[in-house]
Amino acid sequence: MVKPMDHEIKIAIASSKHFKDKTLPIILTSLLQNDIKEEDIIVFISGYEKNSENIENGVTYRQLDFNSFEYSPLIDITENDLESEYWFLIHDTCKVGNNFKNLLYDIPNDKPPKIALKECPSMSIGSYSYKYLKTEQDRLAAIKNKDYSPHSMSQWKIWGVPNEDYMLWKTPLDTLVYNENSTWDVVDYENWYGTNTIRRTEYYHSLDLYKNKSNWGQHPTSEMVLIV
């Protein structure tokens, strides 16, 4: 068994210009409290007019001039050659528990190209090897969206429903599931962000990870892009 910390893993948080102030404090606090180093966290924030980067308290923030939702970090990583052995993609509406790091670094000895949160569907949450992402750079470039109009954003969100796990289960390479454990539970219906949107918290045992989800089929697809 490979020792857990023998791998280089960067955390890629997919966030948005409009919602980052509500979501980032929760996810960043949970990562830092659970022994993830500041320099291993990169926040990718979609929706800006131009690209920029800054570092605050050791965490890197990349402002992106496009919005392809959870795929934005993967697009930016491949376009700008942001190297790491693995990139763990996570939504900003998540938080992690105290066993997250040990589970995250428990990479199989054969070093698979991608490791999903659980069996399909898994919301694109998972670990992607940098080598794998570079081989799929054209596939990622094809979904880069720079049109922020409501119509464009809604159309891309609608596209995302049947294309969930576009870079995990929708590609031909084999994907492994952490610990072969795909169990998950709904633990509450709290809204972490103090808004009126109905949300529920899902807990994923495979990574000791929580997702505060605003849509699980109760809203029309066209509304998904507008709710937080």
Say which residue, 59 or 161, is predicted with more confidence: 59
Averaged confidence pLDDT in the chain: 91
Q: For a pLDDT cut of 70, what percent of the chain falls above it?
A: 92
Given a cut of 60, whether residue 216 has pLDDT beyond it is: no
Burial of 193 (0-12, 13-18, 19+ CB in 10 A): middle
Residue 81 is predicted with a pLDDT of 98
Whether the CB-CB separation of 124 and 168 falls below 8 Å is answered with yes
Least confident of 99-108, 147-156, 169-178, 195-204: 169-178
Dihedral, CA atoms, 142, 118, 225, 163, nearest 10 degrees?
Answer: 40
The model's confidence at residue 187, banded by pLDDT at 50, 70 and 90, is very high
Average pLDDT over residues 124-138: 96
The model's confidence at residue 177, banded by pLDDT at 50, 70 and 90, is confident
Backbone conformation region of residue 35, classed left if phi is above 0, alpha if psi is from -120 to 50, else beta? left
3-class state of residue 14 by DSSP: strand
Q: How many CB atoms lie within 10 A of CB 83?
A: 12
Average pLDDT over residues 184-210: 95
The model's confidence at residue 214, banded by pLDDT at 50, 70 and 90, is confident
| Alpha carbon distance 11, 160 (integer Å) | 22
CATH topology of domain 4-182: Spore Coat Polysaccharide Biosynthesis Protein SpsA; Chain A (3.90.550)
